[in-house]
């Protein structure tokens, strides 16, 4: 039982003034931002596997260990396994 139920939606990412975050991070506060990240990620995988003489892996850093960061890490792992089916192995 409870007296009041508060459902808070519409939060905004906080970078906690960590240097470089605002300039280099993809925030996931909206569908548009998430789609921008998705397109960039798939473009990065494609470029990586088109150029055999360059780097052999894609490095991704997740800033934040809250629910969004943890879920994103799981989804990225799932995506990497799925892309292996299409010959994108790194």
Task: Quick: pLDDT tens for 3-40.
Answer: 877 777 777 888 888 899 889 999 988 899 999 999 99
The CA angle 47-59-42, to the nearest 5 degrees, is: 40
**Per-residue pLDDT at 60 exceeds 80:** yes
- The mean pLDDT of 67-84, rounded to a whole number, is 89
| Torsion sign, CA atoms 24, 25, 27, 28 | positive
Domain residue limits, the chain: 21-84
* CA–CA dist 83, 39 (Å, integer): 14
């Amino acid at each position: 039982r409870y007296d009041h139920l508060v459902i808070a939606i519409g939060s905004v990412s906080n970078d906690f003034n960590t240097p470089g975050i605002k300039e280099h991070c993809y925030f996931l506060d909206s569908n548009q931002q998430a789609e921008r990240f998705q397109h960039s990620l798939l473009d990065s995988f494609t470029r990586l596997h088109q150029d055999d003489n360059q780097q052999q892996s894609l490095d991704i850093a997740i800033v934040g260990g809250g629910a969004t960061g943890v879920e994103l890490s799981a989804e990225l792992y799932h995506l990497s396994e799925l892309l292996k089916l299409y010959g994108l192995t790194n």
